[in-house]
Amino acid sequence: MSLHAPAEGWYSKKVASDEKWWVALAATVCLITFFWMVIWHVYGKQNPGHQTYKIKEAEFMQLSEAFNKKHQIGEENGIPVVAPPSNGDVFLTAQMWRWSSIPVLVKNEWYTFHLSSADVCHGFSVQPINMNFMVLPGYDYVLRFKPNAAGDYKMFCNEFCGIGHQTMIGKIIVVETQEEIQNLKLTQPKNP
């Protein structure tokens, strides 16, 4: 960019045809990408819901603990394994440096995840499908979710959250049918 204005009268000069073509090309790319965003939002599968609520950290932890207590079916390394009902709500709290539960979901059933943090900003990264969302204290991020393949999925924190950040790895288990949940080999909770 020049700090000096071009020679007087430049505004009235004819624009060269190659410049017009480049401007038209750039404008076309802009319009295509703009409308593609709108089309993807309408026709794309499993777009984020854009629903967020304000909630105090302590209140969300209370909800998360109540949810765990209601749906716990076992535990793994001290983390409750929970089986929420289909089309139900799943409360998941991120906290330095753990996830509050291991949800067991059924393939092709819808769930409503409520994500929040008890302390600092965390990231909710589900791998290997590569879903990434931010988890903020004071806000409940609502995510409608329908797993479409059975297996174990890792939940990583992908926002640096302190000295133990790299150890903050959780799990989501997706099973083929509701009956399979009964057959999971789980440690029973010590204090159910």
Partner 1 sequence: MKSNDSPFFERLINNIWLLFVLGVLIYFISYIGWGMYEIGSVPDFPDQLKQETLK
Q: At its nearest, how many Å lie between partner 1 and the CB of residue 90?
A: 11
Interface stretch with partner 1, choices 16-24, 54-62, 143-151, 169-177 (CB under 8 A): 54-62
Please identify, using beta-carbon distances, which residue of 62 and 108 lies nearer to partner 1.
62
Site string for partner 1, 14-43 (x = CB under 8 A): ------------------------------
Using CB under 8 A as the binding criterion, the count of chain residues that bind partner 1 stands at: 22
Please identify, using beta-carbon distances, which residue of 16 and 163 lies nearer to partner 1.
16
Residue 144 near partner 1 by CB under 8 A: no
Of residues 63 through 122, those in contact with partner 1 by CB under 8 A are: 63, 66-67, 89, 91
Q: At its nearest, how many Å lie between partner 1 and the CB of residue 4?
A: 9
SS (H, E, C) the chain: CCCCCCCCCHHHCCCCHHHHHHHHHHHHHHHHHHHHHHHHHHHCCCCCCCEEEECCHHHHHHHHHHHHHHHEEEEECCEEEECCCCCCEEEEEEECCEECCEEEEECCCCEEEEEEECCCCEEEEEECCCEEEEECECEEEEEEECCCCCEEEEEECCCCCCCCHHHCEEEEEEECCHHHHHCCCCECCCCC
Q: At its nearest, how many Å lie between partner 1 and the CB of residue 164?
A: 28
The correct pick among 62, 126, 169, 171 for binding partner 1 (CB under 8 A) is: 62
- In this structure, the dihedral spanned by the alpha carbons of residues 142, 146, 149 and 150, taken in order and rounded to 10 degrees, is 70
- Residues in contact with partner 1 by CB under 8 A are 3, 5-6, 8-12, 52-55, 59-60, 62-63, 66-67, 89, 91, 139-140
